[in-house]
Amino acid sequence: MRARALYRTRRVIEGAHGVRILVNGRECLNFCSNDYLGLAADPRLAAAAKAALDAGGTGSGAAALISGYNREHQALEEELADFLGRPRALLFSSGWAANLGVIRALAGRRDSVIADELNHASLIDGGRLSGAQYLRANHADLNAWAVALAAADGEQRLAVTDSVFSMDGDIAPLPQLAELCATRDATLMVDDAHGLGVLGPHGEGAVHAAGLGVPEVPVYVATLGKSLGCGGAFVAGSEALIEYLIQRARTWVFSTAPPPAIAAAARRALRIVREEPQHRERLLANVRRFRAGARQLGIPLSDSETPIQPLVLGQEQRALDLSQALFDRGYWVAAIRPPTVPHGTSRLRITFSAAHTAEQIDGLLEGLATGLK
């Protein structure tokens, strides 16, 4: 792995995980976080968590079905369901746990799972571990999806896709996928991890932005650790779906419930998303500024209008070298290599926050242009 420039190491952050961070003892600007709205270091979230810590301590102590289900958990589920216009929501400890738990609960050996080939690893593993017939469709290729859905011969068909693809920043053709699923009597499950808080008229996510609801997308998954700046994840859908998952989603049934303080912080973050659209507006303005500057400088970005802006470099070592050159200038942009992305597509995955300033973005552009030369 070392010889092929695929070895990975961790860098240690001290203090808050905001735009300005202390990495291995060195201050730099963070351009590789999923903290899209800049809420991870927002003192209002910390205050909400602290109040919950003072009132109820640190841990939930047990799985939700035993004694771990706190009033903060219940309130967060209710507020998420209301925000998304869905009957119910169910809180999970992580996005990984949510995707594995949902897919394995809804699909088994007699069923079919149809998936976009560039889905997140948690969706891939959930499909494979379910034991269902597993069919992959070429990325965002509607013809390939139609062929895969036609080939699915399971008793139940579960179609699974990311909304915003985490390494490319592009958006799945959700309206067309929903229409295809309707023709094949397939249930559509969407992981909106990178859409919630960013897309939609009020940050409701990619599904809402596409004009779709519970009938077209019965299974909706999103995380709390990205735009909401906290941790955990949730599934939202019908009363029957949530009650079924409470009985059958093993990653929920057998996991200790998340700390109530994290749920309290997520509730505060959700209020900010609903009441302060300026964060989302500033985020998207930052993306537009970066893309315009990249065009002027001849920096070849992928086609993405989301806060995920990939610069595909190909070779692993080239991605590492450019990442290090930027770090030496005070900009942290992680190099993404296989197996996270396919061989030959190593890249810098540049991501933006509402907390970035115009000057910081312009400095990054200058560093990229110099490093590429």
Which segments are annotated as binding site for substrate?
A: 8, 120, 340
Active-site hit among 73, 226, 279, 356: 226
139 tagged catalytic: no
Residues in the chain, total: 373
Q: How far apart are CA 293 and CA 284, in angstroms?
A: 14
Concatenating the DSSP letter of every residue in 59-70 gives ---SBIIIII--
Residue stretches of the annotated binding site: 8, 120, 166, 194, 223, 340
Residue given tokens 């891939």 in the structure block: 124
Residue 97, SS3? helix
Distance of CA 324 to the CA centre of its chain: 25
CB 192, CB 203: distance < 8 Å: no
Task: Find the Cα–Cα–Cα–Cα dihedral 133, 137, 140, 146, rounded to 10°.
Answer: -90
Binding residues for pyridoxal 5'-phosphate: 166, 194, 223
Query: Which is the catalytic residue, given 73, 194, 279, 356?
Result: 194
Could you confirm whether 163 is annotated as catalytic? Answer: no
CA dist., res. 359 & res. 224, Å (int) = 29
Strand arrangement, sheet containing 219-223: 88-92, 233-237, 219-223, 187-191, 157-162, 112-116, 133-137
227 an active-site residue? Answer: no
**Joined tokens for residue 24:** 């291995």
HEC assignment per residue over 168-234 = CCCECCHHHHHHHHHHCCCEEEEECCCCCCCCCCCCCCHHHHCCCCCCCCCEEEEECCCCCCCCCEE
| Angstrom distances, CA of residue 259 to CA of 16, 46, 262, 270 | 19, 14, 6, 17
Burial of residue 33 (number of CB atoms within 10 Å: 0-12, 13-18, 19+): buried
33, 60, 93, 166: the active-site residue: 166
By annotation, the residues acting in catalysis are: 166, 194, 226
